[in-house]
């Protein structure tokens, strides 16, 4: 059995001295997304989708203690962000 977590990762420039990536997780419909603390990374704004997927996996692992089996990312058109779906295997 497996389950998924969905969300968005975007490049945050609101803190001009230290721009970085912000990860928000979707909850149930109508819930406000949960923001995870920023993970210090040297991954550039122009990172490739596979690099972004690895970063999301690391951020989720830090939050849950479990690394996703797979992270699929889709660039958000007209944005510096990505939508993602992380797939986990449920423990047996």
pLDDT in tens, 12-69: 777 666 667 888 999 777 778 888 877 777 778 788 999 999 999 999 999 889 999 9
pTM of the model: 0.83
Q: DSSP for the chain?
A: -EEEEEEEEEEE-SSTTS-EEEEEE--STTPPPEEEPPPP----TT--HHHHHHHHHHHHHHHHSS--SEEEEEEPTTSS-EEEEEEEEPP-
Question: Which position has the token pair 């990505």?
Answer: 82
- The alpha carbon torsion through 60, 64, 66, 71 (nearest 10 deg) reads -30
In the prediction, which pLDDT does 83 show?
Answer: 95
- Position 1 confidence tier, pLDDT thresholds 50, 70, 90: confident
Q: What residues does each domain of the chain span?
A: 2-89
């Amino acid at each position: 059995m497996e389950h998924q977590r969905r969300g968005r990762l975007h490049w945050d420039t609101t803190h001009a001295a230290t721009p970085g990536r912000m990860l928000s997780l979707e909850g149930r419909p109508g819930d406000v997304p949960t923001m995870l603390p920023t993970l210090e990374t040297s991954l550039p704004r122009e990172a490739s989708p596979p690099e972004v997927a690895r970063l999301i996996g690391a951020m989720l692992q830090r939050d849950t203690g479990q690394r996703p089996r797979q992270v699929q990312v889709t660039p958000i058109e007209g944005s510096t962000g990505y939508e993602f779906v992380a797939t986990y295997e449920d423990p047996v």
